[in-house]
Structure 1
Amino acid sequence: MSTTPTTAPTIHWSEDRSAQPARSARWHSESCAPPPRRVVVADDRTKTATAYQLACEGTALLWQGDFHNARQLLRAMGRRIDRSSTPTRPDATPAESFRLHRRARGHRARVLGRLLVLLEDDHSLSLRRAPDVRRACAEAYGPPRGGRAVSLTELLGAIGAHQWREKGVEVPALGDGIRVHPHYGVFSPVRGEYVDLVARAPLAANPRTAFDLGTGTGVLAAVLARRGLAQVAATDINPRALTCARENAARLGLADRIEVTGPDLYPEGRADLVVCNPPWLPARPTSAVEQGVYDPAGTMLHGFLHGLTAHLHPGGEGWLILSDLAEHLGLRTRADLLTAIDSAGLRVTDRLDTSPRHPRTRDTTDPLHRARAAEVTSLWRLMPG
């Protein structure tokens, strides 16, 4: 049986605006955005108004000027978008505000994503005053396999992710000065309140084994191992997260106690404790990073609940770490959550609550400020029965 080979998506442009497109490059988008149909060359002479109009019309601009000027143009375009957008309405319900906010953010990302740069065969940038981005790109995209065009916003994200990976995120629950190092495309544990819940929740008598479902960086698996669990199986659907969690376990000296596996939600067998910190909002993610925030139709949440009993040793329990932000946004009710727990044949034995500490809870200009300020993150202790 013959198969039709797939062709890598490409963009096409001309160095001379009066000529037919004469150059092309492979297109790459982490959010799976399609390649732009029309591409024009832009440089230091390009005015913000021109770039903004072209990008709003769907035309991409391939930058060939100074790197820092490209960043300035991106910021200027962003300010124009912010001035022209209305992310919510005074009479909107919380759910409507959330949808309008996401729509505005999506529009902003699409427009700004039309400012492109060309990575060379070795992941370098041939732009004036360009930083060395080769290592950041290798971490994000893998080994160089020829040149490719990417949006500048995506490249800046890769650079930022590389800096976070180098610096790491301090996790006090693991000890003074101890850090985990997130990889590109893996949700970073910058909101430490949910980690603290796992660190202080009382353990049942002498648990030895645990599952950490949706491990991400592996931070919760590490906390459980540091609390004395002899063996922790950590799972994730994201291949980048699996690599990240393994590296963090090794860095922390816990590789002999943490087994990282995927892509199934549950590993084989049973455990004394099953911990799950699913994405908190039941909505569709638009990128790999957003998979750490959005859980379409609560798929992971319901998968955890309905699989828990079959994966617990007798007397074992499950810990569900979940924010009530979805409730304040009108995306899910407390009754919905309790019904899901009950329908899975589970009962709540205890609940620990904490308030978020991140700066957005104090940002009154945030369209979702009221919901964020009221948010509570909980650890629900669940048992069959």
Structure 2
Amino acid sequence: MSDHPTLTWTDARGLTHTARWRSESGVSAPRRVMVADDQTPADRAYRLVCEGTALLWQGDFHNARQLLQALVRRLDKRETRDRAASTSRGTAKPASGAAPDAAVHASPDPAQAFHLHRKRQAERARILGQVLIPVEAGHRIALRRAPDVVAACTEAYGPADEAYVLSLRELQGLIGAHEWRKKGVAIPALQAAIHPHYGVFSPLRGEYLDLVAQAPLPAALQAQNEAWDIGTGTGVLAAVLARRGIARVRATDLAPRALVCARENLARLGVLSQVDLLQTDLFPDGQAPLVVCNPPWVPARPHSSVEQAVYDPDSRMLRGFLQGLAPHLAPGGEGWLILSDLAEHLGLRSRAELLGWIEAAGLQVLGRLDIRPRHGKVTDPDDPLHAARAAELTSLWRLGLAGEAASPAA
């Protein structure tokens, strides 16, 4: 127990209890904890969690879910009220105590709107994460009408030989990830499904896969039939490349759980014999005629491990890929950078900045393929970032060595 964060609380009899605290996103154990049950009014619970007091649930499990839904409704109501008040004032500055979402809709500055939106998301997650569930050793929940979460928790955490406490929201995330892992995500480019593991980004936004499936292959593959997939995640890009007839694919990732996930998916798709999986930061040793990377597209701090596929502080992975690409490209080879321009529409990174990084890395743009995202938020006018999302394009940038004549496609 001393090696792990702990949570301490006092029960109705005045007895003190301690249990391991689990948080996938690294949230610290709450300092103030009260026991709550089926008799705890939702309004009182809402006041307590907003003030920073966590509620350790000791009642019926389904009632805990209903309490969480009640907290969501109260947050939604507050945000709608504050947004309406901000709109009626016609100003970007919300009233004292207003939810950050009010300023998001009022702000004319896309970057400011984005940062306020992220602030609102973090605050909302903090409040809703204050409903806690005790879990016994072996990932079993002793509450009435509790679901069987052994498989979901084992997939995420591994075996558990001691009791612990986690937020109900995180537990719901574990259950959801378990269901996605069982069901899989349909990938039209593969005519098959990819099964994401917990903590590994799911390829729900599949438009970029269409670009990789359709882009003309560089002629340099005729001399060396090998491609690299940098940051493979679920292994979906490696699978697309293998299905396109590339004899050898080297797929890299730093996260062990991503490599396990990729291996299972590639085996299920029947292409594992074509793929070498490597735990390394960005590039393996050597050179390849085709190097593909789909880095996080928004330069901001992630709030959880799965968000690392979307948010990348200071564009570290993007810049690392560009800076290291030239030495790893075989003569006549291409680097395919798959990148959304959402950051540009949010004012977080300019097109000139991206082109400057490409040039400084000794690279040139050979061509670009574009596609529009198809996810629901593109057409949702109530989304705080709707203007940026409506203008977003996802592109496959074909990059080659500066000064090198472009080779014909294979």
TM-score (norm 2): 0.90
- Residue in 2 aligned with 1:34? 28
Gaps of 5+ in 2: 79-98, 403-410
Aligned residue in 2 for 1:330: 347
RMSD of aligned Cα (Å): 1.2
Residues 1:161 and 2:177 aligned together: yes
Q: Which residue identity lines up with residue 289 of structure 1 in the other structure? A: V
Match of 1:266 among 283, 287, 291: 283
Equivalent residue pairs, number: 377
Q: Look up the match of 2:216.
A: 202
Matched residues in 2 for 1:53 and 1:338: separation?
Answer: 49
Question: For 1:33-112, what aligned pairs fall within 5 Å after superposition?
Answer: 33-84=27-78, 85-87=99-101, 88-112=104-128
CA deviation after TM superposition for structure 1 residue 253, in Å: 1.0
Of 103, 115, 130, which aligns to 1:114? 130
Q: In percent, how many aligned pairs have the same letter?
A: 61
The aligned amino acid for 2:205 is R
SS at match of 1:301: helix
The Cα offsets for residues 255-290 of structure 1, whole Å up to 9 and x where unpaired, read as 111111113211121111000000010111111011
SS in 2 for 1:216: coil
Q: Is there any run of 5+ residues in structure 1 with no aligned partner, and where?
A: none
Matching residue's letter, 1:68: H
181-190 vs 123-132, which moves further: 123-132
Q: Does 1:127 align with 2:143?
A: yes
Say if 2:253 and 2:278, in contact at 8 Å, map to a contact too. yes
**Structure 2 match to 1:231:** 248
1:245 aligns with one of 262, 270, 275? 262
Query: Which residue of structure 1 lines up, in the alignment, with residue 362 of structure 2?
Result: 345
* 1:91 positional shift: 3.5
Task: Give the structure 2 partner of residue 304 of structure 1.
Answer: 321
CA distance in 2, matches of 1:196, 1:89: 33
- Secondary structure of the 2:73 match is helix
Q: Which of 140, 146, 159 in structure 1 is aligned with 2:156?
A: 140
Q: Which residue of 1 aligns with 2:382?
A: 365
Structure 2 contact 323–361 (Cα < 8 Å) conserved: yes
Counterpart of 1:13 in structure 2 is 9
Shift of 1:86: 3.9
The superposition leaves residues 190-235 of structure 1 with CA deviations (integer Å, 9 ceiling, x where unpaired) of 0110111100001012621111011110000000000011111111
The separation in 2 between residues aligned to 1:103 and 1:290, in whole angstroms, is 15
SS in 1 for 2:237: helix
Aligned-partner SS, 2:8:
strand
Q: Distance in 1 between matches of 2:378 and 2:105?
A: 20
Deviation digits for residues 133-159 of structure 1, max 9, x if unmatched? 000000011112311100000000000
Post-superposition Cα deviations, 1:25-64, rounded to whole Å, max 9, x if no partner, equal 1001011111111111111111111111111111111111
- Contact in 1 for aligned 2:105/2:384 (Cα 8 Å): no
Moved over 3 A (4+): none
Residue 195 (structure 2) pairs with residue 189 (structure 1): no
Alignment-mate amino acid for residue 39 of structure 1: V
**What CA distance in whole angstroms lies between the structure 2 residues aligned with 1:120 and 1:251?**
34
Is 1:180 aligned to residue 194 of structure 2? yes
Shift of 1:119: 1.1
Matched residues in 1 for 2:299 and 2:51: separation? 31
- Aligned: 1:254 with 2:271: yes
Deviation of the 1:6 alpha carbon: 5.8
Can you list the C-alpha shifts for 1:156-181, whole angstroms capped at 9, x where unaligned? 00000000000000111012xx1010
CA distance in 2, matches of 1:143, 1:252: 28
Q: Which amino acid aligns with 2:32?
A: R
What secondary structure does 1:26 align onto? strand
**AA matched with 2:328:** H
Indicate the SS of the match to 1:348: strand
Q: In the TM superposition, what are the counterparts of 1:217-228 in structure 2 within 5 Å?
A: 217-228=234-245
Within 2, Cα distance between the matches of 1:104 and 1:194?
29
TM-score (norm 1): 0.96
Residue type of the alignment partner of 1:11: L
Shift of 1:83: 2.5
Question: 3-state DSSP class of the match of 1:212?
Answer: strand
For residue 102 of structure 1, what is the amino acid of its counterpart?
Answer: R
Structure 1: distance between partners of 2:201 and 2:4: 28
| Equivalent residue number for residue 315 of structure 1 | 332
2:398 maps to amino acid:
R
